[in-house]
Amino acid sequence: MARQVTLNRRLINTAVAWSLGLLIFFPILWTILTSFKTEAEAISLQPSLFGFDWTLENYQEVNARSNYPRFFANSVIIAVGSTLLGLCIAVPAAWAMAFVPSNRTRGILMWMLSTKMLPPVGVLIPIYLIFREFGLLDSRIGLVFVLMMVNLPIIIWMLFTYFREIPGEILEAARMDGANMKSEILYVLTPMAVPGIASTMLLCVILAWNEAFWTLVLTTTQAAPLTQFIASFSSPEGLFYAKLSAASTMAIAPVLILGWFSQKQLVRGLTFGAVK
């Protein structure tokens, strides 16, 4: 807006927004701070914000005692694996729908969206039994597959909205310029599609990392990712606030950072391209 806003107004906005922002962010901040306290200080009846003896012992203990690296590795494998597998299947599908649309494309896309409406509990028992039958319970490969299926509609939708933005004239220009199919894909399409694929990947890794239904009901120890690890603090271990905080901080830090980088894509991906 070309309108001049008075400094006062701007200062008031700033004050209100920052206060509310810090209020909303406070639980996360508090968790991070608590992770550096000793257990005694963490449950102190006179909690202090910054004035405590900072310590790293919680991190060391969580890492040492509870096999934390395995949970972390499982989270990475499951989140990244399901995303990559999903992309392999979604890229050709979204490609076909964006560049060779038929009059059924819209219907197929809406149907894919509707599969997201299927509540997980509706298929919980068969999936559980099938997994038990094939020895996939508590296996990483099984979870990779399930999370891939859960996120597939979102991946396809998101890629579709990105691919559709590549103008057809560019492809025609490349053909006029003498590019054959191979160089068209190599020099023109891929470079233009990469940003969209990257954002899709980012969002899907975040979603898979935080998925907390299938990861909780289909794993116990071997394949358990961080969601399950944190859930195991539920009681009575959760009363060790400092260790809970340290574990939580490590579990959310990677995604928090990834997420901050992908705000824009988040809006687009989660609204199926309806809001950009």
> Least Å distance between CB 42 and other proteins?
8
By CB under 8 A, the residues from 192 to 221 that bind other proteins are 192, 206, 209-210, 212-213, 216-217
Residue 245: closest CA among 63, 29, 32, 38: 32
Token pair listed for 60: 């060391």
Residue 105 is a binding residue for other proteins (CB under 8 A): yes
Binding residue (CB under 8 A) for other proteins from 227, 243, 246, 265: 227
- DSSP string spanning 7-42? HHHHHHHHHHHHHHHHHHHHHHHHHHHHTTS-HHHH
Distance CA 249, CA 251 (A): 5
Question: Is residue 254 within 8 Å of 262, Cβ to Cβ?
Answer: no
By CB under 8 A, the residues from 52 to 81 that bind other proteins are none
Numbers of helices and strands, H then E, in the chain: 14, 0
Binding map of other proteins across residues 137-176, x = CB under 8 A, - = no contact: ------------x--xx--x----------x-xx-xxxxx
Residue 251: closest CA among 201, 215, 199, 197: 215
Binding residue (CB under 8 A) for other proteins from 40, 50, 64, 122: 122
Stretch of residues binding other proteins (CB under 8 A), selected from 51-59, 66-74, 136-144, 249-257: 249-257
Residues in the chain: 276
Residue 124 is a binding residue for other proteins (CB under 8 A): yes
> Least Å distance between CB 64 and other proteins?
21
Binding residue (CB under 8 A) for other proteins from 25, 134, 185, 198: 25
